[in-house]
Amino acid sequence: MTTTDDAVARPDRRPALTAENLVVEFPSGRGRKVHAVSGVGLEVAVGETLGILGESGCGKSTVGRSLIQLPPPDSGTVRLGAVTLTGLAPGELRRARARMQIIMQDPVSALNPRRRVKDLVWEGPSIWGPGGDARDKDTRIDAALRDVGLDPATVRDRRPHELSGGQCQRVCIARALLLDPEVLICDEPVSSLDVSVQAQILNLLEATARRRALSMVFIAHDVSVVKNISDRVMVMYLGKVCEELPSEGMQHEAAHPYTRLLLASLPEASGTTDTAAGGPVAAAELPSPLDPPSGCRFRTRCPLATGLCSGEEPPLREIRPGHRVACHHVEQRSNHS
């Protein structure tokens, strides 16, 4: 994990993945639309991990899928290095997308139950990878399984139903890494696993990213998981970005009331929600993405909300280097604040 100084220097580093103004909407009948993602932008540098944090339904998984064009966003652009993915012809998109891989939330459902582990791991290289004889293939499969902590002799001829959830997730990671991707998108990769297995998978992902200088987008609703594995954290609420800041010192530097509310939910949080968020949070249901509130989408639950919040959407603005907030009531900070 990088330090705060490293994160501040991020704009000088080469971007591996860039997205601008992503909009994703889903039809919901009677001419209505679900506003899943509304104008989201992000940038991930080479070797950096960006965490996307938020409650269920905030649009974070939709952002991850739109980055890899599954499906493409309704509008906006996604660039993988210097290649713009949005608008590519299907064949060109498939070739370019081989440089990105995604790890799904449910590892068992992500694996073909009829195929053996060795075939599942080799699926990508069999389509896109360089050729080689059978001995080279077996060597690479075994090396990939060892890299994720699996014994090839034990698992290579098994099928997914013969493995545990943690083992299946390791197979998914091995399959993704065998294509040597530049960007790895992790869509809640540990939420369906036991706590002890979660720690093993997180350590594996963090060590792999560091060893390979791999860029990662890590999506989760667990604050402590995202904070610990990420270099920077992007907080989403109802399809919008609330705040983006370095993970180092996040519990002290977070400025948006929603981010403060999420941090106050941690067991180790020393303050109460009232103290962390600037006042009591309204006991209201999450607004519907079919009809999101005007202005600031968090205003119906925000202790700081005023008339300005309902009439004008707050821009995502920088309050200090590497720290951006979408809130009318957060003041700009000095470098030493």
| SS3 (DSSP) at 43 | strand
pLDDT mean across residues, the chain: 87
337 is a domain residue: no
Residue 233 domain-assigned? yes
* 204 within domain boundaries: yes
- pLDDT-derived band of residue 266, with 50, 70 and 90 as boundaries? confident
Cβ proximity of 39 and 22 under 8 Å? yes
**Is residue 312 over pLDDT 80?**
yes
User: What is the structure's pLDDT at 287?
Assistant: 86
Strands (E), 104-251: 183-187, 215-220, 232-237, 240-246
- Domain boundary residue, one of 180, 215, 239: 180
Domain-embedded: residue 203: yes
Which residues lie across from 34 on neighbouring strands?
A: 26
**260: containing domain:** 4-99+181-325
Q: Can you tell me the mean pLDDT for 205-215? A: 91
Residue 331 pLDDT: 81
Q: Per the domain annotation, does 280 fall within a domain? A: yes
Together in a domain, 186 and 273: yes
197 and 166 within one domain = no
Is the confidence at residue 337, as pLDDT, over 70?
no
Confidence of residue 276 (pLDDT cuts 50, 70, 90): very low
CA–CA separation, 256 and 263 (whole Å) = 11
First-residue to last-residue Cα distance in the chain: 22
Of 140, 162, 180, the domain-final residue = 180
Last residue in a domain, options 124, 147, 180: 180
Does the pLDDT value for residue 10 go beyond 60? no
pLDDT higher than 60, residue 273: no
Q: Is residue 319 domain-shared with residue 187, that is, in the same domain? A: yes
Q: Is residue 332 part of a domain?
A: no
151-157: average pLDDT: 95
CATH code of the domain in which 62 resides: 3.40.50.300
Overall pTM surpassing 0.85 (yes/no): yes
Sign of CA dihedral 13, 14, 17, 19: positive
Q: What would you report as the CA-atom Rg of the chain, rounded to the nearest whole angstrom?
A: 21
What pLDDT score does 274 carry? 46
For residue 215, the model assigns a pLDDT of 95
pLDDT value of position 253: 92
In a domain, 330, yes or no: no
**Statement: residue 267 has pLDDT above 90:** no
**pLDDT per residue as tens digits for the range 38-71:** 999 999 999 999 999 999 889 999 999 999 998 8
More confident residue, 132 or 181: 181
| Residue 147 shares a structural domain with residue 265 | no
The domain total for the chain is 2
Phi-psi region of 95 (alpha: psi -120 to 50; beta: other; left: phi over 0): alpha
Which pairing describes strands 240-246 and 232-237: parallel, antiparallel, or unpaired?
antiparallel
Q: Do 170 and 55 belong together in one domain? A: no
- Same-domain status, 234 and 89: yes
Query: pLDDT category, 129, cuts 50, 70, 90?
Result: low
Instruction: Report the pLDDT value the prediction gives residue 327, as an integer from 0 to 100.
Output: 95
User: 214 and 305, same structural domain?
Assistant: yes
pLDDT of residue 269: 57
Residues 141 and 270 in one domain: no
Q: Please give the share of the chain, as a percent, with pLDDT higher than 70.
A: 87
User: Is 50 within a domain?
Assistant: yes
pLDDT at 13: 76
Question: Are 87 and 186 found together in one domain?
Answer: yes
Q: 44 and 134: one domain?
A: no
Q: Are residues 132 and 202 in the same domain?
A: no
Q: Which residues pair with 78 in a beta bridge?
A: 19
Residues 155 and 186 in one domain: no
